[in-house]
């Protein structure tokens, strides 16, 4: 009888041990799965945070409200056409000195270096010089925002064969200069202003056109400022 009791006790003890072992494995497996799930979530969060869209959103501290780029309120406008950059430089000096606004005359088909080959028999400028019907250069726009608000308009250009570069003609013809003082200026390495300003005035038919000024290609800002001062148009 004692023998059977001991045998039964051993069987019960073994069953309890097996049950405890199974529970321990299940618990360990659940913990491992939980840790793996947590790691995957963390990795996913890191990937989302490092994506371009997330970086853009997270790193954007700027105000995203719309901004409006308005035209200047000054009464001076500096209009210019520049083939090689010299006239643009002078126009910038004048705008700084007067506190005026800038407007660039831009051909719809810009002139290339080959087009501006003055000595080339078949270059664009040579053909346009020889055939005036080709000088009607299409511009990207001739309209100036708040045009009526300007009292004084400077018009700058390089000299081509003794006259204003013809892309300027289209702008002058398209606008009404009534009530405005118009001051031409040009850049050239040797040629003077000539009758370029007078010819533009005739083309416009409106406006109070003043005697203009010719600047050498390497003119300094100080020289331009002195001229603006002599006109009584310095912003200072």
Q: Delimit the domains of the chain by residue range.
A: 76-230
Model confidence at 108: pLDDT above 70: yes
pLDDT the model gives residue 189: 85
Segment 126-177, tens digit of pLDDT:
999 999 999 999 999 999 999 999 999 999 999 999 999 999 999 999 999 9
Confidence of residue 217 (pLDDT cuts 50, 70, 90): confident
pLDDT the model gives residue 74: 55
SS (H, E, C) the chain: CHHHHHHHHHHHHHHHHHHHHHHHHHHHHHHHHHHHHHHHHHHHHHHHHHCHHHHHHHHCCCCCCCCCCCCCCCCEEEEECCCCCHHHHHHHHHHHHHCCEEEECCECCCCCCCCCCCCCCCCHHHHHHHCHHHCCCCECCCCCCCHHHCCEEEEEEEEECCEECCHHHHHHHHCCCCCCEEEEEEEECCCCCCCHHHHHHHHHCCCEECCCEEEECCCCHHHHHHHHHHCCCCCC
Average pLDDT score over the chain = 77
Q: Give the integer Cα–Cα distance in Å for 130 and 60.
A: 58
Six-digit token pair at 166? 């013809």
Q: Give the integer Cα–Cα distance in Å for 171 and 81.
A: 10
pTM metric for this prediction: 0.69
Give the β-pairing of 76-80 and 152-160: parallel
Count of beta carbons in the 10 Å neighbourhood of residue 196 = 26
pLDDT the model gives residue 195: 94
Confidence of residue 41 (pLDDT cuts 50, 70, 90): very low
Residue 36 main-chain phi, psi, to 5 deg: -65, -40
Q: Give the integer Cα–Cα distance in Å for 88 and 86.
A: 5
pLDDT the model gives residue 59: 31
Cβ atoms 103, 82 nearer than 8 A:
no
Model confidence at 109: pLDDT above 90: yes
Segment 74-106, tens digit of pLDDT:
599 999 999 999 999 999 999 999 999 999 999
pLDDT the model gives residue 55: 30
pLDDT the model gives residue 190: 84
Model confidence at 213: pLDDT above 70: yes
Class of domain 76-230: alpha beta
Q: What angle do CA 89, 92, 96 make, to 5 degrees?
A: 145
Segment 173-209, tens digit of pLDDT:
999 999 999 999 999 988 889 999 999 999 999 999 9
User: What number is the average pLDDT over the span 22-40?
Assistant: 39
Mean pLDDT is lowest, of 45-49, 214-218, 230-234, for 45-49
Cβ atoms 128, 120 nearer than 8 A:
no
């Amino acid at each position: 009888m004692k023998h059977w009791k001991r045998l039964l006790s051993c069987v019960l003890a073994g069953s309890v041990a097996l049950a405890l072992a199974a529970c321990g494995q299940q618990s360990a497996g659940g913990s491992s799965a939980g840790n793996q799930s947590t790691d995957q979530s963390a990795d996913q969060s890191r990937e989302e945070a490092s994506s371009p869209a997330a970086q853009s959103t997270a790193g954007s501290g700027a105000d995203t409200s719309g901004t409006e780029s308005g035209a200047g309120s000054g009464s001076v406008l500096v209009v210019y056409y520049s083939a090689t950059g010299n006239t643009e430089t002078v126009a910038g000096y004048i705008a700084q000195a007067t506190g005026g606004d800038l407007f660039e005359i831009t051909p719809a088909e810009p002139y290339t270096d080959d087009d501006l080959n003055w000595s080339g028999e078949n270059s664009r400028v040579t053909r346009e010089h020889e055939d005036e019907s080709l000088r009607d250069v299409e511009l990207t726009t001739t309209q100036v925002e708040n045009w009526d608000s300007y009292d004084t308009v400077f018009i700058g250009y390089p000299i081509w064969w003794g006259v204003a570069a013809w892309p300027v003609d289209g702008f002058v013809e398209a606008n009404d200069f009534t009530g405005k003082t118009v001051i031409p200026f040009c850049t050239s390495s040797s040629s003077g202003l000539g009758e370029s300003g007078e010819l533009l005035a005739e083309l416009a038919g409106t406006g109070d056109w003043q005697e203009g000024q010719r600047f050498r290609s390497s003119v300094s800002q100080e020289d331009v400022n002195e001229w603006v001062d002599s006109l009584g148009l310095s912003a200072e």
